Structure 1
Amino acid sequence: MNKAIETIGRQCQSLTRLDWWLSWTGIFVGCAVMAAGFVYFINPYSIVPGGVYGASIVMHNLFPSIQVGTFGYMFDIPLLVLSMIFLGAKLGSRTIVAALSTPSIMNVMSRLSYPTQDALERLDPALLLGGSVDMTDHLMLTSIVGATLIGIGCGIVVRSHGTTGGSDIVAMILQKYCHIRFSTAILMVDAVVVLFGLVVIGFGVGSTDDSVTPSWHLSFYSLIAIFVTSRVLAYVINGAKDDKLLFVISKKEMVELHRFILKDLDRSATLIKSSGLYTGADKEMLFLVVSQKEVTVVKSKIKEVDPCAFVVVTDVYDTFGEGWKQLPSAGELQPE
């Protein structure tokens, strides 16, 4: 008996250590993916996708000798203090590492990707990696690709119980104290940063005399980048959210449907005894949550068991419990 308890204890410790390593690995992987999105697809075109690094891009246009990542430090340090105060030490330790790692990785990537200091200061896309990733003529594509990478990287960091600093910290504070969804708060904060970019540098690079790509066009690319980032971020954190809730009401006991749910779907359901409001006759009602892929087979089985059954199918925002997600702990931040 004692040996069994010791074995279980060792297994739990092993899982805890594995979770710890996976969490910290996720922090660094997420930071690297996010930095790549900025360095190769956002920064060279002065697209302002909100957040600390959007503001840093604006400042770099004013002071080219200071890199975007370096400005990131300048914005992040006071926000890290707010993180430690309002979000707690557990989240703060990962936030500190992520916030300090991302600008460092960004600066290193930039220095390795541009051949000269002048090209680095100008962030000339024609000289980025020898011009192999110059997307000057494809600003829509570079906005989407860059925003997708940023959203993926930020999402990985948040799933690893950290934030990348900046607008992430502000958004999580808004979420915790104002009950605003994390991705919605990110959108709000980033919109303010874009307005800052419009005021300071006139919608980014270029000029109003540029008939091909007027500078004000970049504001729309910035908004597109913000939207894509927020949607990708929400998807990475929470998944597709395509679960469905079914209410099935029948005049008879649907024993065959019960067996199908328990055996074939390997799920459970809630059986509710009910009665018709008009007839007063006893009826059976099933409360069932399934994935999007299972809806069709369930409806087919219902028709087979009782073609006259009344069925309601609706979207499920979130599902917790056995076989689904765990309920959040007290005080735990929920990013969506």
Structure 2
Amino acid sequence: MYGIAIVVHYLTRDMFAIWPDGIPIGLFGLIVNIPLTMAGIKILGPRFGVKTVVGFVLASFFIDGLAWLRPVSDAPLVNDVLLSCVFGGVLAGAGLGFIFKSRATSGGSDIIAMIIAKYTRLQLGKLMIYVDSVIVLTGLIAFKDWHVPLYSWVVIYITGRSIDMILEGADYNKALLIISKKHVDIKNKILNDLDRGGTYLKGEGMFTGEEKQIIYTVVSRREVAVLEEYISNIDPGAFITVMDAREILGEGFQSLRKKVEDR
């Protein structure tokens, strides 16, 4: 909604005496979000609650409040557009992440995507990208400059990554699948030296038909290097798959109960 508000802000310059620079972005977002939220409650049920209303009201207040406090409200903080996109996307994503973490929505395109999802059964994540992309293209129509949508898509991507980091954490632990004839030695290394746990998975070689013991374990990035060096010394022919594990819940890592209670 604030993307549309930016377009409206620039298209309404000198149209209203009370707003010579154009309709304030925060005010327009607030005006549009009120009926959208009412429609969302009517169509989707009262799932948004007070938190969503507080969220978009405060967002509108701070957008216009910060613009009012600055001597030149629409002057860029820095002249580097890409730098503004990166830091703006990170900050916006962090804020949205905290909103989603508190089981609320930010209003606007979230509600539009949810309403479309109800009637089309399309995935909500994809719909949000589609809706935001359509809004971004309105910037191209209004400003007739490809820089606007291209930079906007950069912001959308960075915002999404920031949201994921807030919701899932940034531990960046590694999940390992290890196939080795020296699995007993590797197990002892994991349990005794690294003080980590793991699980044996039974497997069978596709070519040889030989039964194999597969070790599944999760360790830190530092411990990956320690484990790889150890395995290379005892079994250079071992097969190891290393995968990113953005969020680990359970013993030795973050408590599942604590995470749920903190929401």
Please classify the TM superposition score into its range, dividing by the shorter chain length.
0.7 to 0.9
The answer for the alignment partner of 2:260 in structure 1 is none
SS of the aligned residue for 2:107 comes to coil
Cα distance, 1:249–1:220 mapped onto 2, change above 3 Å: closer
Q: For 2:5 and 2:46, how far apart are their aligned partners in 1? A: 26
Q: CA RMSD in A?
A: 3.2
Task: State yes or no: 1:158 paired with 2:87.
Answer: no
Distance in 1, matches of 2:218 and 2:137, equals 43
CA distance in 2, matches of 1:96, 1:172: 16
**Matched pairs, number:** 246
Distance 1:308 1:148, change over 3 A: closer
2:29 to 72, 75, 78: 72
Q: Give the partner amino acid of 1:179.
A: Q
Say if 2:230 is the partner of 1:230: no
Quickly say closer, same or farther: Cα 1:280–1:85, change in 2 above 3 A.
Answer: same
Task: For 1:159 and 1:225, locate their aligned partners in 2 and report how far apart those are by CA, in whole Å.
Answer: 21
Aligned mates of 1:55, 1:268 — CA distance in 2: 51
**Map 1:235-254 → 2, pairs under 5 A:** 235-240=165-170, 242-254=172-184
> 2: CA distance between counterparts of 1:173 and 1:267?
45
1:78 and 1:299, CA in 2 relative to 1: closer, same or farther beyond 3 A? Answer: same
Amino acid paired to 1:223: W
Scaled by the length of structure 2, what TM-score is found? 0.76
Distance 1:220 1:321 in 2: 41
Once the two structures are superposed, residues 204-236 of structure 1 have per-residue CA deviations (whole angstroms, 9 ceiling, x without a partner) of xxxxxxxxxxx4433333332223222322333
Q: Larger RCO: Structure 1 or Structure 2 (Cα < 8 Å, ≥ 6 residues apart)?
A: 1
Indicate the percent of aligned positions where both proteins have the same amino acid: 35
Alpha-carbon separation, structure 2, partners of 1:288 and 1:60: 53
- Indicate the SS of the match to 1:288: strand
Deviation at 1:166, TM superposition (A): 0.9
* CA drift at 1:298: 1.9
Distance 2:64 2:82 in 1: 25
- Structure 1 regions of 5+ residues with no counterpart? 1-51, 126-132, 204-214, 328-336
CA contact (8 A) 1:252 1:284 kept: no
* Structure 1 position 240, deviation (Å): 4.5
The correspondence of residues 253-292 of structure 1 with structure 2, limited to 5 A, is: 253-254=183-184, 256-274=185-203, 276=205, 282-292=211-221
2:105 is paired with a residue of what secondary structure?
coil
The gaps in structure 2 that reach 5 residues or longer are 14-18, 258-263
1:194 aligns with 2:143: no
The answer as to 2:83 corresponding to 1:102 is no
Q: 1:179 to 1:316 in 2, by over 3 A?
A: farther
Number of the residue aligned with 1:218: 148
- Residue 77 of structure 1: CA displacement? 1.1
Deviation at 1:102, TM superposition (A): 0.9
Cα offset, 1:82, TM superposition: 4.0
Please report how far the alpha carbon of residue 110 of structure 1 lies from its aligned counterpart in structure 2 after TM superposition: 2.0
